Structure 1
């Protein structure tokens, strides 16, 4: 493929919009101040069927325990310790995906699909979006999308679409997969663990959700692409030449090692499902499995032992910001727990919501998670912070924990294509040459459509008592 040089991905990733760590530290400071203002309180808890449950009638106010000045700064280190199991899980799974990326198997598959479908625009959009949706729902593809944006934006323009079409194929495809999170280890995997749910339970409804969101996304992107093709003046081309031409190697074929790597990658998830269902695997076993299969993929992909290690580090390196966000988010919980505010927040929140139908409370959880992602633009970080509150809150107001997890994953996923605090999203826009305001104007109707789908699925989840609990 030849075209004018693509922007340097590493340089573009510096464009991160509003700094999320500054926002989180402000929340940490505000949380510390609240320990001097809000009354402390506590619920009694007990073990029921292997999970910790709050006794809704046991709340009582207790003596305040405000945190000191140095406790604000100490809380970050304590938060890192509290979140260590999740942080290192993220690093290990990210490292395994780094090895997969280094084998070139994913790039080869995208190139193969692009070459085969370049002359069939009606298939290019749904097939490539299906690939990115699968990557988003299985491996939480986010930062990795930047490489493909640099390829598909000029290709879309060469096919007489526009820059928005190319960017949307990647971003909306990965986003709907990320939102449905059928087996996303970084979102549902972490959230269900915190909520004490069986890992990846409730997969049936999430598969239906993925199909619905995918169909909606393909329709929305294809509708726009068709308008642009019929009238190029309706398109947006950024800094690209509308008359761009792209030459593809029509003789390109995937190597045998690439095919084997992808087969092993899929086998990894088959083994994962088997282990989770039959042996109750949790993040330690899942992290070990990804490490094992990462090494296997590296060997099959003809990487040297040193190359496998370097690729593991590169994959983990991409997730350093997200991993640090988990620790900073945990610092907020450390302050709430030290100041005994956690149960007070639960008490007042349940008091507000208890007079509402539980179905509306589930929707309210979703709306909260949707906007909270502005402050914590990390799926695993948001899960680590909000689920310790949302899971017991659900118990108190009659919303199942599985429904609370669904509300979290939808709020987190949908907002990833909207907020300027989401670093990889802003970097992708910069790479595609699309101003944030221009993108928001185009994608907002689709975001509203996603919200509508989310509400419908949350109502379904409530009425079927989405569980196991």
Structure 2
């Protein structure tokens, strides 16, 4: 593989070549938040809901809240929460490292370079179609089957493709991450978010689909427009792009590289496609999650090494180098999980949920639905897992909605929008931080870029839940 192409698909963190700008190291930010969480355990009273088994999953009894003796965390327990968080997030951490290793081997086979070069030439003068098509694929994947961590596999594939057609690194990243978040925001039939939330709320599975489908179209069009406008701006003025370590010379090299797809490359791509089909089947039919998907990519890595005639030593070396390039992002996930560990051990989350629900009982239904939406957005900073978020909040929000004369379907919609929006902005989200690590983009740079879209989506979500309340959005 040429030096240019190796650099173009590298997973290394971005090297700043532009003028200096304000930024904060995400590790430092998360550690500060961890300390704040520990201090809060000394200030706020502790309480808890009793946990119960319902329909095969553990949730909380909404009528069981009680205040308990405070359980503040000291210095050592706070520090200990970091390795504890890494243990609790081990599934996603090792999944990310395996994905990094997989792409290290795929890169060593020369397939990425050949595929990107071929596609870039075929997309010449038609690259405008790339953004809406790719984002629709991931939006449908997120909305119909909960594609989140699985989408990470494609980030290092679409970044060099975006570069090759004259876009920038952040465009290639956004096509995947923002595309998937569109699906989670409206969640037409996502079994891990809206399906779970509706089950907890006692609603028919996937009911209210028509309204969510309309919202899906609205959010999709807005998200595509946002990414597309940025990409076209970069196309006109490459200096305005966010490249990290890439430059326009490397883009031109990808277009002019004389690398053809060989029969060996096509066999590898066929194996990749078959792997994806098996993945989708496994997720839908057998409810596969991270462990099963990780195992699938380990098998695919071995197959690629065999098809690519890569020696055992080179395979191991490529795999470890690919994994090593993502270790920073993997560690960030463990540290962010530590914040949740501290709040859980200090028994702070349940009292916050209880107090908010009690306050909502004393305001009008209109203000309550706005408050419910804002609370769900805020709590997603701590509960970055969509399923975990649903299992903790929906047992409280569903009966609370009844008391406030708000439909339970509206309560589910509030959760769904909060989940999707939070997935692409909060640094406590493992999938986001892993994707940015793969792309070599700092969180602060991403946050500044994505903030206008977040504000637009937040506003649409607020309008949507208000409309849902006014029309009595219910099972249908």
Give the alignment's TM-score, normalised by structure 1: 0.69
Correspondent of 2:40 among 34, 39, 48: 34
Question: Which residue in the other structure is 1:393 paired with?
Answer: 393
Question: Which residue in the other structure is 2:175 paired with?
Answer: 173
The question of whether the paired residues in 1 share the 8 Å contact of 2:105 and 2:318 is answered with yes
The question of whether the paired residues in 2 share the 8 Å contact of 1:79 and 1:334 is answered with yes
Question: Which residue in the other structure is 1:124 paired with?
Answer: 127
Q: 1:402, 1:308 → 2: CA distance?
A: 46
Gaps of 5+ in 2: 17-21, 142-146, 185-189, 399-407
The question of whether the paired residues in 1 share the 8 Å contact of 2:373 and 2:414 is answered with no
Instruction: For residue 7 of structure 1, report the CA deviation from its aligned partner.
Output: 9.4
CA RMSD, Structure 1 to Structure 2 (Å): 5.1
Q: 2:106, 2:474 → 1: CA distance?
A: 38
Instruction: For residue 99 of structure 1, report the CA deviation from its aligned partner.
Output: 3.2
Distance 1:53 1:309, change over 3 A: same
Correspondent of 1:56 among 52, 56, 62: 62
Question: Which residue in the other structure is 1:321 paired with?
Answer: 328
**SS of corresponding position for 1:415:** coil
Correspondent of 1:66 among 63, 72, 86: 72
Question: Which residue in the other structure is 2:303 paired with?
Answer: 296
Instruction: For residue 397 of structure 1, report the CA deviation from its aligned partner.
Output: 0.8
Give CA-to-partner distance per residue, 1:124-163, whole Å, 9 cap, x none. 132266457757966666698579767755853xxxxxxx
Question: Which residue in the other structure is 2:29 paired with?
Answer: 23
Q: 1:293, 1:101 → 2: CA distance?
A: 13
The question of whether the paired residues in 2 share the 8 Å contact of 1:173 and 1:217 is answered with no
Instruction: For residue 42 of structure 1, report the CA deviation from its aligned partner.
Output: 1.6
Give CA-to-partner distance per residue, 1:76-129, whole Å, 9 cap, x none. 2222233333433333344334433443333322211111232x2xx1132266
Question: Which residue in the other structure is 2:82 paired with?
Answer: 76
Q: 2:122, 2:322 → 1: CA distance?
A: 29
Question: Which residue in the other structure is 1:383 paired with?
Answer: 384
The question of whether the paired residues in 1 share the 8 Å contact of 2:197 and 2:394 is answered with no
The question of whether the paired residues in 2 share the 8 Å contact of 1:99 and 1:298 is answered with yes
Question: Which residue in the other structure is 1:283 paired with?
Answer: 290
Is 1:368 aligned to residue 378 of structure 2?
Answer: yes
Correspondent of 1:410 among 406, 420, 445: 420
Distance 1:264 1:336, change over 3 A: same
Question: Which residue in the other structure is 2:401 paired with?
Answer: none
**SS of corresponding position for 2:59:** strand
Q: 2:356, 2:295 → 1: CA distance?
A: 38
Instruction: For residue 69 of structure 1, report the CA deviation from its aligned partner.
Output: 2.5
Is 1:95 aligned to residue 96 of structure 2?
Answer: no
Instruction: For residue 74 of structure 1, report the CA deviation from its aligned partner.
Output: 1.7
Distance 1:455 1:102, change over 3 A: farther
The question of whether the paired residues in 1 share the 8 Å contact of 2:47 and 2:67 is answered with yes
Distance 1:81 1:321, change over 3 A: same
Instruction: For residue 309 of structure 1, report the CA deviation from its aligned partner.
Output: 2.6
Gaps of 5+ in 1: 157-164, 183-187, 377-381
Instruction: For residue 327 of structure 1, report the CA deviation from its aligned partner.
Output: 2.2
Q: 1:387, 1:193 → 2: CA distance?
A: 10
